[in-house]
Amino acid sequence: MKTMNPLAPIPPSTTETSANLHWHNSFAHLQNDFFTRLVPSTLPSPYWVGRSLQAAQSLGLDTAWLASDEALQALTGNLVLPGSEPLASVYSGHQFGVWAGQLGDGRAILLGEIQTSAQPLRTQEIQLKGAGRTPYSRGGDGRAVLRSSIREFLCSEAMHGLGIPTTRALCVTGSDAVVRREALETAAVVTRSAPSFIRFGHFEHFSYNDQHTQLQTLTDYVIDRHYPACRDSTKFNGNPYAALLEAVSERTAHMVAQWQAVGFCHGVMNTDNMSILGLTIDYGPFQFLDGFNPAHICNHSDSQGRYAYNKQPNVAYWNLFCLGQALLPLISTTEGDQELTLAALESYKTVFPSAMEARMRAKLGLTAPQPPDRAVIESILQLLSTTHVDYTIFWRRLSNYMAQMAHAPTNAANAEPLRDLFLDRAAFDAWLLQYSEHINAVDMAQAADLMLKTNPKFVLRNHLGEQAIRAAHLKDFSEIDRLLKLLESPFDEHPGFEAYADFPPDWASGIEISCSS
Residues forming the active site: 272
Q: Is the peptide bond before 120 cis (omega within 30 degrees of 0)?
A: yes
Task: Count each helix (H run) and each strand (E run) in the chain, helices first.
Answer: 15, 13
Write the DSSP string, 497-511.
-GGGGSPPPGGGGG-
Helix (H, G, I), strand (E, B), or coil: what is residue 175?
strand
Q: How far is CA 91 from the centre of its chain?
A: 19
Distance CA 515, CA 302 (A): 8
Neighbouring residues of 163: CB distance < 8 A, sequence distance ≥ 6: 258
Write the DSSP string, 262-305.
HTEE-S---GGG-BTTS-B---SS-EE-SB--TT---BTT-TT-
Cβ-contact 467, 499 below 8 angstroms: no
**How crowded is residue 378: how many other Cβ atoms within 10 Å of its Cβ?**
11
Dihedral-angle region of residue 215 (phi above 0 means left; psi in -120 to 50 means alpha; beta otherwise): alpha
Neighbouring residues of 507: CB distance < 8 A, sequence distance ≥ 6: 463
Q: Sign (positive/negative) of CA torsion 59, 60, 63, 66?
A: negative
Distance CA 489, CA 162 (A): 8
Neighbouring residues of 275: CB distance < 8 A, sequence distance ≥ 6: 167, 194, 196, 197, 198, 199, 281
Question: In three state form, how does the secondary structure of 83-132 look?
Answer: CCCCEEECCEEEECCEEEEECCCCCEEEEEEEECCCCCCCEEEEEEECCC
Distance CA 397, CA 141 (A): 46
Neighbouring residues of 422: CB distance < 8 A, sequence distance ≥ 6: 383, 387, 389, 428
> Is residue 172 within a helix (H) or strand (E), and if so which, with residue range?
strand 168-180
